[in-house]
Structure 1
Amino acid sequence: MRSGAAFLAVGTGLVLHARRAFLRELRQARAAVASARSMPLRPLPPRVAGLDLAAAQLPADRGAAVGGDLYEVIATEHGVRAVIGDVRGHGLAALGTVAAVLGTFRAAAHDEADLEGVLRRLDRALARHVRDREPDPEGPEHFVTVLLLQIAGDGTLHTLNCGHPWPYRLNGTEAEPVSRTEPLPPLGPFPLPPDLPTENPGSLLPGETLVLYTDGVEDARNTEGRFFPLPSVLTEATRAGPLSPQAVLRTVFTQLLDHTTQRPADDVAVLVIHNVGDVVRGATAEKRGAGLHR
C-alpha cells in the first residue's frame, strides 16, 4: 500500500514537472510570436534620401522567418543612419534581443545628435533587456555585435563598430573594407569606454556601393571546410559592370548557397547601400519632411 502511494506521488510529481515545463515553453513561444509581429526586421524601402537599398537575411533555423541578425536604415536630420548587428545565438532565443535593439535604434537614430549617443542608448537597452529576461547572474552570457553607420548629405561616412565585420566598399574595380581598425568589444559583456572612437572612413561617392553583412557570411564553409570567399565574390561582381543593390544581394546569396550546398550553420544577413548620385538633394528633401522612413 505504501509503495503504491509512493509510486503515485512520484508519478504526480513528474506530471506536474512536465506541465510546468510545457507552460514555460508555451509562454516563451507566445512572447517570441508577439515580438515577431511587433518589432523585428521589416522590408526596407528601395530608396532613402538618394541611396538605393537592398537587404535580406537567411536564418539558420529551418522554418524561421527571422533569426538573430538585425539591420535597419533610417533617414534623419543628422543624415542617413544604418545599423547591422548579430545577436549571440539564433532562432526564438535571440528574437527578443533583436526586438530590443532595433526598437531602441529606431528611436535613438532620430533623437541623438551623434552616433555615440545612439550606441550608448543601445547599450542601456540591451542591459535592461538582459536584466528583465535573465535575472540569474549565472545565466548565459548575452552580447550583440553592432555596426553603426552615418552617411551625411555630402556622402561623408562616420562609423562606430562594436565587434562587427567592417563593410566592403565597391568602387567599380575592387571590393575593399572601409576600415581595418580593430573594433570595440561587442555590446553586453563589458561597459563602453568613456570615449568612443568614431571613425571617418572617407565618403560614399556617387556610383559607389557599401555591403554590410554579418559574420555568418564569411564563416560559411563548404564540404571541404573552406570559408566563403566574400571579398573575391564582391570583386568579381563589381568588375562585371554597374550593379544594382538587388543584383549584388542576389549574387552573394546565390554563391553562398552554392558554396555551402545547404542552409548555412549560422544566421546570415546582408545590407547593400548604393549612392545613386543625389544624396545631397535627397538629404535636403528629408529636412523638409519628404520621404522620411520611419
Structure 2
Amino acid sequence: MIREKARARVASFALPAMWGAVAVTYKLTCPLAQQNGLGARIASSAVFLAVGTGLIAGVRRGPLRELARFREIARAAQRVLLRPLPPRLDGLAVAAGQLSAHRNADVGGDLYEAVATDHGVRVVMGDVRGHGLAPIGTAAAVLGSFREAAHDERELCGVLRRLERALRRHLGGADEEFVTVLLLEIRDDGSVFALNCGHPWPYRLGRASAVVDRLCGAEPLPPLGPFPLPESLPARYCGRIRPGEVLLLHTDGVEDARDADGRFFPLHRTLTEAASARTPDPDELVDSLRGALLRHTGGRYGDDMALLALRNDRHRVPRQSGAVTKSRTSSGS
C-alpha cells in the first residue's frame, strides 16, 4: 500500500516535471528563443502556451483521478448499503430508487430493504436524521440488523426491537439522533401487518382504477432513538393488497419536495394519474416519480428521497372440479 501511494505521488509529479524540462530546454538550446524579432516572440509565446497548458493538464489529472476513485468507492458503498432488490420476491414485483441530497453521492440517510422469509415478505423503509453523507453509518447499522432479524424473529415486534438495540449500540448514547422506521409484513394471502415509528404510511394503488389511499394511516409510534419502545408492541393489521394492487413506500423528502414557488410535490395526485391509466408497473412507477420529482424541484432538493414499489402478482388458481371428483372417487374405492 505504501509503495503504491509512493508510485502514485511520483507519477503525479512526472508530467509537470517533463513540461518544465521542455520549457527550460527550449529557452537554453533553441536559437529561436535567443532572438528578439516578432516571429521569434510569437514562436516562443506558442511554446510557452503549450507548456502552460500541459502543466495545467498535469496538475488537474491527479485530482480528477482521485475524484474518479472516490466515486468508484461511493458506488461500491451504495451496492453494499442499498443493494439492488430482486425484481420479484415470493410473487411480488419489486422496484426501488432514491435521490441523494448530496450532489456527489448516490446514497444518503434513506434506507430500504425487502426480503422473502418464512413469515412472509418483510420490508423496511427508514429515514435517518439529516441528509447526504453524514447519516450513512447509521443507515448501515439499521439495515444490517434488519437483514438478520427479518429471518430470525418470528414476530414483527421482535424485528423492531432488534433494530432499536442495533441503533442504540451504534449511536452510543447520542440522544439527538433518531431514525424513522416503517416495517411491513406481507403474508401469502396479501394481508399486511405493520409497525410504524414516525414514518409516512405507504400508499395503495387500486387495480385498474384511480383509487389511491393511505394504507392504515393510524398514529405512528415515535421515531427510534429518543424514546424506548413500549412493552406491548403488537403489529397492526392494515388490510390486504389484492392481486394487481401496488404499495408505494416513500420517505418524507418526497412529499416535502418543493418547487421554485414553495409548493409541495403533489404525490397523491401524481399517483392517482398513474393508477388511472392502467395497473402500474413498479419499475415504471418509480422511474416516473423520480422524473416528476426532478421536474418539480428543478433538480434542486434539500433532502434525500427514496421510493419502493411492490405489486401483488400472486393469483389464486381456481379449484378444478375434475380433480375434486377424481379425489372423491379414489377415496370411495
The interval holding the TM-score normalised by the smaller chain is: 0.7 to 0.9
- 1:224 is matched with 261
The one of 95, 108, 118 equivalent to 2:159 is 118
Is there any run of 5+ residues in structure 2 with no aligned partner, and where? 1-69, 318-333
The one of 270, 289, 296 equivalent to 1:252 is 289
- 2:219 is matched with 182
5 Å matches for 1:197-208?
197-208=234-245
Q: Secondary structure of the equivalent of 1:235?
A: helix
Query: Rg bigger for which structure?
Result: 2
Indicate the percent of aligned positions where both proteins have the same amino acid.
Answer: 57
Query: How does the TM-score come out when normalised to structure 2?
Result: 0.70
The one of 177, 185, 189 equivalent to 1:142 is 177
Is there any run of 5+ residues in structure 1 with no aligned partner, and where? 1-28, 132-136, 281-294
Q: Distance in 1 between matches of 2:122 and 2:278?
A: 27
Q: Distance in 1 between matches of 2:156 and 2:285?
A: 27
- 2:195 is matched with 160
Name the amino acid aligned to 1:119: L
- 1:127 is matched with 168
Q: Distance in 2 between matches of 1:193 and 1:265?
A: 33
Compute the displacement of 1:158 (Å): 0.3
Name the amino acid aligned to 1:72: E
Q: Secondary structure of the equivalent of 1:52?
A: strand
Compute the displacement of 1:37 (Å): 6.6
Q: Distance in 2 between matches of 1:130 and 1:51?
A: 34
Is 1:73 the equivalent of 2:132? no
Compute the displacement of 1:91 (Å): 2.3
Q: Distance in 2 between matches of 1:231 and 1:246?
A: 18
* C-alpha contact 1:39 1:102 (8 A) present in aligned 2: no
Compute the displacement of 1:35 (Å): 9.3
Q: Which has the higher contact order (CA 8 A, sep 6+)?
A: 1
Going from structure 1 to structure 2, the CA distance change for 1:207 and 1:267 (only over 3 Å counts) comes to same
* RMSD, aligned CA: 2.0
- 2:229 is matched with 192
Greater displacement, 177-186 / 160-169:
177-186
Name the amino acid aligned to 2:82: L
Q: Secondary structure of the equivalent of 1:201?
A: strand
Q: Distance in 2 between matches of 1:256 and 1:55?
A: 15
Is 1:63 the equivalent of 2:100? no
Going from structure 1 to structure 2, the CA distance change for 1:210 and 1:279 (only over 3 Å counts) comes to farther
Name the amino acid aligned to 1:98: A
Greater displacement, 252-261 / 207-216:
252-261
The one of 254, 274, 293 equivalent to 2:311 is 274
Name the amino acid aligned to 1:200: Y
Is 1:233 the equivalent of 2:270? yes
Compute the displacement of 1:247 (Å): 1.2
Query: How does the TM-score come out when normalised to structure 1?
Result: 0.79
Q: Distance in 2 between matches of 1:205 and 1:108?
A: 27
| Alpha-carbon displacement from aligned partner over 1:37-56 (angstroms, at most 9, x marks no partner) | 78411100100100000000
Going from structure 1 to structure 2, the CA distance change for 1:127 and 1:264 (only over 3 Å counts) comes to same
Q: Secondary structure of the equivalent of 1:200?
A: strand
- 1:97 is matched with 138
